[in-house]
Structure 1
Amino acid sequence: MTVASLKKVTLFGDATARTETMVFLQELGCMHLVPLAPLPDAPEHVQSRDAKDAYTALRFLAEVGTPRRQVQRDPGFDMTRFVAEVLDLSHRMREMRDRRDFLVHRIRAVRPWGDLEFPPHEDLAGNRLWFYRLPVKHRKALEQVALPWSILGTDHRFLYVVLIALDEPDDDVLPVARTHTGALPIKQLEEQLEDTEIALEALEAERLASTRYLDLMRKNLSEAETKAELAHAEQKVLEEDHLFAVQGWVLSDRIEAVLAGAKSRKLAATIEEPRVDELPPTLLEQPDSRSAGVDLAMFYQVPSARGWDPTVMLTLSFAIFFAMIVADAGYGLVILAGLGLGWKGLGNTAARRSWRRLGLGIALGTVAYGVLVGSYFGVSPDQTSVWGKLQILDLNDFGAMMLLSIVIGVLHLVIANALAARAAWGTRHAIANLGWIASLLGGLFLWRASVAEQATAVPVAVLGAGLATIFVFSSDRPIQKPTDWLWRMLDGAQGVSGAMGAFGDVLSYMRLFALGLASASLAITFNDLAFGVMQALEGPGMLFGLLILLVGHALNFGLALMSGVVHGLRLNYIEFYKWGLPDEGVAFRPLTRKELQE
């Protein structure tokens, strides 16, 4: 349940064994490749690791509303050939649609001039016909035209005029631009349109017939993705003088398997530990039951391989923050009911079961916190009842809720610094993290002591010691000449200046109190409005009141869910990651085969 340990492996061998080696590494599925060769200069020659053509062809066929009966077995089905045929069909259909649209537009543009029959070019003594759609209000402009002209048609808005000239008239000959009608009469254009539509129908029929292979395409997508992944990986292999080299990061416990394969293929191999200036990719080793936490941890920022695994801490704090923002046991029960309805569907895979467990934890946490604050769809229980006695927090007690939010914020950042110090132990930065822990706790105790008008000497001393530690240990700059001491002092001053940022980050946790209060207040408001309508109107008041309750709580529930997710994750991704995981890494993505789809 930590960041996986990786080593860099380089394989060398004869170029004739290159393809076999890459296929072996893909079958093994444990090497994150490092590019040794530059990518092609032309972007169109860069191979994608995704089977874009296969997905494009699949989407093209899947858009057909009523596909044909599916073929489940076809020994001669070739995914690569079929994808190429479908893409060619898509290209031909696109061209045919463009041709049809062009003809429709040209016919619409030519029709006002009538069914024109253009005379041979020599009959016009080298002259050409130039067509204009002239607004009726500019009729007098024709009288100033020196060229021969004629009005071929009119309607209530335009005059359809033709000019005769050797060359195209000047742009200012008429107050409108000329119209492009082409050299074909409407009759021929309509014949071409009919032929185009017939051809398009034939292509649509071909597309419909191809939809019978949709299921086979979906089953063979994994093979297309595997080939695309391999083609992308081969671009990273260096080949010179009949030799090749491939390099990548491998899990420490899979090194022996790679070396065994290299030995059987007569390849040379080197194994290296990560250098100080080298950052391996990040792989969070967690059981399948926690894959949802891994997804959350990698969603916003990939933790550095030299950092630590935030999965458990992230899921726990997210569930707590979500519960505090929703702040209603009734809404927690609604989440629990929705989860129950989809419980079976979320149990198909290990990943879905992990998300189901996370959802269950969030729902139960929301119910528990709602009981603690005594809110059930905005209704507070009788203090003499069992549920009333379980209420130990009052959302309307601003002082207590503000204190709770700030304490949670300080503890969250303290934990972040403690975990960061543990990951960096043995370096100056780890000591600086301990200084931040002392500063955060000292600032909290100083605030509470000043509010209670108690002695502040001890909190001030803790705060001062923390800031001094930060000043001394924030820089890891080596001392090689006297001026380096000055740079260390500047780095320390910059580190201490982060105290204002820490103060702002702690205050960010006030949103837990503010959003929870807003959710509870809206629920109470909708309840009061509904009950007021019920009392004011006899008969229909009951119906209107129920509608207000239903719509109001649905709206508030949606807002609470959105706030809980967005702000619950924000406090982790922004504030917590800033202090605990300041460095970003690259996700471990090995060369591997794609799993066959059932």
Structure 2
Amino acid sequence: MSILQLKKAALIGLAEEKLQMLDALQALGLMHIIPLQDPQAPAQIDDTVNPERLKRALQYLLSCREKRRQVVRTRQFSLVEMLDRIDHSRSRRLDLMARRDFLEKRIADLTPWGDFSFPEPDALAYQKLWFYLVPNFQMHQVERSGLIWHCVHRDNRHAYVVVVSEQEPDANRMPVARTLTGNVPLSQLEQDLEDIEIELESTEAERQALTRWIYQLQRCVAATQDSAFLSEVADQTLDCGEIFALQGWVAASQLDELQTFAENQGLVLLIEEPERQEVPPTLLENSEQLGGGQEVVSFFQTPGYRSWDPSRVVFFSFTAFFAIIMSDAGYALLLGAIMAYYWKSMQATRTQRRLRSLGLTLSLASFVWGVAVGSYFGAPAPFDWLQQLKVIDINDFDYMMRLSIGIGALHLLLANLMMAWVRRQSLQAWASVGWALAVLSALLGWLQGFHLLHWLVFALGLIMVLGMSGQEERWQVRGLLQGTLALTNITKIFGDVLSYLRLFALGLASASLAITFNQLSTDVAMALPGIGMFLKVLILLAGHMLNFVLTVVSGVIHGLRLNLIEFYNWSLADEGYAFRPFSKQEVTPWTT
């Protein structure tokens, strides 16, 4: 749980070796570049290999269900030729699919009329055939139309009527618009559809064959983006005649590696401490097992460089909140089964492995809490030894309210203590300590009954907030005005603590819905012998699946909300920006 300490590094070298040095530095991937001048406008990219075309071709191959073994060496690979082949295959496939859809629709419309060919114009004295799909209840209008017609087919909804007329009948003489059948016989349409299906199979086989080049295309995409990044950084260096300078942030733990790089490249390396008014980027470091919290934190808000890393606190608190909201061991096992099914597919990247670890922790914590409350798909424990493990009654409203509010108060207490630690070099830290004392005394007074000591500690906390919240002139008029304004947050912190009651409410709702579906299925089975058993199974499956989805969604949304809104409001003073290393992208092929 740490924000890595950064140093400001400057590299100085010869201008003629600038591009080679930048390429090597990009391969090293240690620095967050500080622009020393405004970048120039990006250069125009050749349309034949532009990034959008590359990504479109790559997406076309990645969406193929079956993929071939990858070619990991660059032999026999021409990017322009490959893009032309992929674009041709993609366009041909789209055209064939459009024609297939048209033929399937035309065949479906023409099938009730049968397979026929139009006669020669003089065979019917230059009369023509007009086709209408008429609802049965409107056939009386056809009979009164005065037209020459014949019903060639009838089903329970429609009559298939053919009108013989030299010109198309007026719209007001027939109850419906005419059906467009075309002049191609049904047998010919079916033959055309078969030919197109064969062509589609050939195109799909060609697409599968092209998937062997996915890795090479990914490398080209990465190389294009790396080249654009390199050009961007090259425009941000400070060039002075025959030398250039590059500045950036680097982790203090990686200074030795950067020093070795500078010596090998013949560069001058200058290291400086960040000045107080500077705002370095934030580089978080967490283990892969607990890194899921960092992914959540980074997605919502990056903490400031001089703040603290809430990743591990969010990891464990989110896990606890999710488990309380789920409150069912059966649902936890189902979630664990889903994680087991996707386990191998979530190992390609570091982010996926971190989220996989978070999902496993959620499943285990939810199972432990579900066993503690004794709920298994809304039913009691199936075994006596499991029933003995039930230690919490989720229907005990008083206990669950005390638990939820206690969790909320302790969570915000921790938030204010962490804020005090961040502000430890300022007297404002004591204002956060004051809020922590006020929350703790109010919680203990509510649980134990308020006594004089509780009121004294509560008043002491508010006095600390009043006197230490000002930016300057503490205990002076201006400082007291700022402190008075800060005291208005007492209603806010009270509401934030009560917001944690959603843990109890959502957990109770989940358990109640599960019990309701169980009871409903039992009642249906008893009321309808025979088919009632089938309906019971159907209600159980549909009901618990719906409740499971709602529970997971509620656990994620409200579990994160309590961390990223209530907790963040009291623990993080400022927002930072993420450390963006000047590095090259890595592409790893699969070989099976």
Aligned residue runs from structure 1 range 14-25, under 5 A: 14-25=14-25
Mapped to 1, the partners of 2:352 and 2:295 lie a distance apart of: 12
Contact between 1:330 and 1:375, CA under 8 Å: does it hold in 2?
Answer: yes
Cα displacement string for residues 182-224 of structure 1 (whole angstroms, at most 9, x for unaligned residues): xxxxxxxxxxxxxxxxxxx9xx99x979777444313544333
Mapped to 2, the partners of 1:74 and 1:455 lie a distance apart of: 76
Mapped to 2, the partners of 1:348 and 1:588 lie a distance apart of: 22
Mapped to 2, the partners of 1:52 and 1:473 lie a distance apart of: 55
Mapped to 2, the partners of 1:72 and 1:348 lie a distance apart of: 17
Mapped to 1, the partners of 2:552 and 2:68 lie a distance apart of: 42
Segment of structure 1 superposing worse, 332-341 or 506-515: 332-341
Structure 2 residue aligned with 1:430: 429
**1:474 lines up with 2:466 in the alignment:** no
The code of the aligned residue for 2:501 comes to M
Deviation at 1:515, TM superposition (A): 0.3
Deviation at 1:494, TM superposition (A): 2.1
Contact between 2:404 and 2:503, CA under 8 Å: does it hold in 1?
Answer: yes
**1:537 lines up with 2:528 in the alignment:** yes
> What are structure 2's unaligned runs of at least 5 residues?
96-166, 172-199
Structure 2 residue aligned with 1:34: 34
2:541 equivalent among 534, 550, 565: 550
Deviation at 1:476, TM superposition (A): 3.0
**1:230 lines up with 2:230 in the alignment:** yes
Contact between 1:70 and 1:211, CA under 8 Å: does it hold in 2?
Answer: yes
Structure 1 residue aligned with 2:281: 281
Mapped to 2, the partners of 1:542 and 1:403 lie a distance apart of: 42
Mapped to 2, the partners of 1:69 and 1:514 lie a distance apart of: 52
Cα 1:27–1:219 change in 2 (3 A) is: closer
Deviation at 1:529, TM superposition (A): 0.6
Mapped to 1, the partners of 2:409 and 2:279 lie a distance apart of: 31
Cα displacement string for residues 409-467 of structure 1 (whole angstroms, at most 9, x for unaligned residues): 00111112222222332222322221111011122233335xxxx45322111111111
Mapped to 2, the partners of 1:556 and 1:346 lie a distance apart of: 26
Mapped to 2, the partners of 1:275 and 1:478 lie a distance apart of: 25
2:509 equivalent among 518, 522, 541: 518
Structure 2 residue aligned with 1:563: 554
Structure 2 residue aligned with 1:462: 457
**1:251 lines up with 2:246 in the alignment:** no
Cα 1:338–1:69 change in 2 (3 A) is: closer
Structure 1 residue aligned with 2:159: none
RMSD between aligned alpha carbons?
A: 3.7
The percent of aligned pairs where both chains have the same amino acid is 38
Cα 1:497–1:43 change in 2 (3 A) is: farther
Contact between 2:295 and 2:351, CA under 8 Å: does it hold in 1?
Answer: no
Contact between 1:54 and 1:83, CA under 8 Å: does it hold in 2?
Answer: no
Give the alignment's TM-score, normalised by structure 1. 0.72
Deviation at 1:339, TM superposition (A): 2.8
Structure 2 residue aligned with 1:492: 483
Aligned residue runs from structure 1 range 163-178, under 5 A: none
- Aligned residue for 1:289, secondary structure, equals coil
Structure 2 residue aligned with 1:588: 579
The code of the aligned residue for 1:434 comes to V
Structure 1 residue aligned with 2:355: 355
The code of the aligned residue for 2:462 comes to L
Contact between 1:328 and 1:366, CA under 8 Å: does it hold in 2?
Answer: yes
Deviation at 1:471, TM superposition (A): 1.6
Contact between 1:33 and 1:591, CA under 8 Å: does it hold in 2?
Answer: yes
Cα 1:339–1:263 change in 2 (3 A) is: closer
Mapped to 1, the partners of 2:563 and 2:512 lie a distance apart of: 26
Deviation at 1:240, TM superposition (A): 4.2
Structure 2 residue aligned with 1:418: 417
Mapped to 1, the partners of 2:64 and 2:339 lie a distance apart of: 34
Deviation at 1:263, TM superposition (A): 4.2
Contact between 1:289 and 1:351, CA under 8 Å: does it hold in 2?
Answer: no
Deviation at 1:582, TM superposition (A): 3.0
Cα displacement string for residues 379-417 of structure 1 (whole angstroms, at most 9, x for unaligned residues): 1349x9433333222222222111110000001111122
Contact between 1:222 and 1:597, CA under 8 Å: does it hold in 2?
Answer: no
The code of the aligned residue for 2:427 comes to R
Structure 1 residue aligned with 2:115: none
Structure 2 residue aligned with 1:271: 271
Structure 2 residue aligned with 1:321: 321
Contact between 2:404 and 2:500, CA under 8 Å: does it hold in 1?
Answer: yes
Give the alignment's TM-score, normalised by structure 2. 0.73
The code of the aligned residue for 2:461 comes to G
The code of the aligned residue for 1:574 comes to I
Contact between 2:215 and 2:587, CA under 8 Å: does it hold in 1?
Answer: no
Mapped to 2, the partners of 1:496 and 1:226 lie a distance apart of: 51
Deviation at 1:474, TM superposition (A): 1.6
Mapped to 2, the partners of 1:507 and 1:466 lie a distance apart of: 20
Mapped to 2, the partners of 1:32 and 1:571 lie a distance apart of: 32
